[in-house]
Structure 1
């Protein structure tokens, strides 16, 4: 795999709907040559699938600290009522549970009202995704 293949992958990661011709214009190849490179990357399972990213509500990280008499099944039953919960982990450390959620403000308030009698909590809301691109993180480049 050469730098052109890496650039094609990066372009597809940013927009998987780009045409081979549009990619070719950016890497100075014909659309047909780009198509052959993509096919080769698929055959070698470097590209394994094409997908889309659906916009979601803001992401929150919620840590739950159980009251001393709260059974963990009570928390589990409450959490399962909310489809906005993407991940629900029982953890060691200060917190008992860690949730990754996508609540609107009003549904977050509803969740907090339901959970508050049973646990203390902290809510951290993502304000910017600072994930490094492959160009910024060279040791992770393909």
Structure 2
């Protein structure tokens, strides 16, 4: 995912990664920065987005792809379409031009009223996660 750094927030707890606010094709959000060098405000970076925690719920949702949060430490809302699902509760979710791998907590997390089992291929889903991490890379 190609992002532009909008703001920086230093680590507030020992061992925690600093946070960066970024904008990309699918919105604006805060994420923990996992690069060796800190970026500067205004920098562009190619990053892999990692969702470190399992998601515990999801909903079918209409609308464009989205990655959004309002403040450092705020949950991140993500909307995209399911491209693949395996029996290990891992989903490949397309968010704009990018693909995210999402692990879903236990089979019970998929059981919502009107839904039987996992999201199906092509479903547009939305979920929140406590945070995301971004890992910069060079092409």
- Give the TM-score, by structure 2 length: 0.22
The higher radius of gyration belongs to 1
Structure having the higher helix fraction is: 1
Structure having the higher strand fraction is: 2
- Give the TM-score, by structure 1 length: 0.22
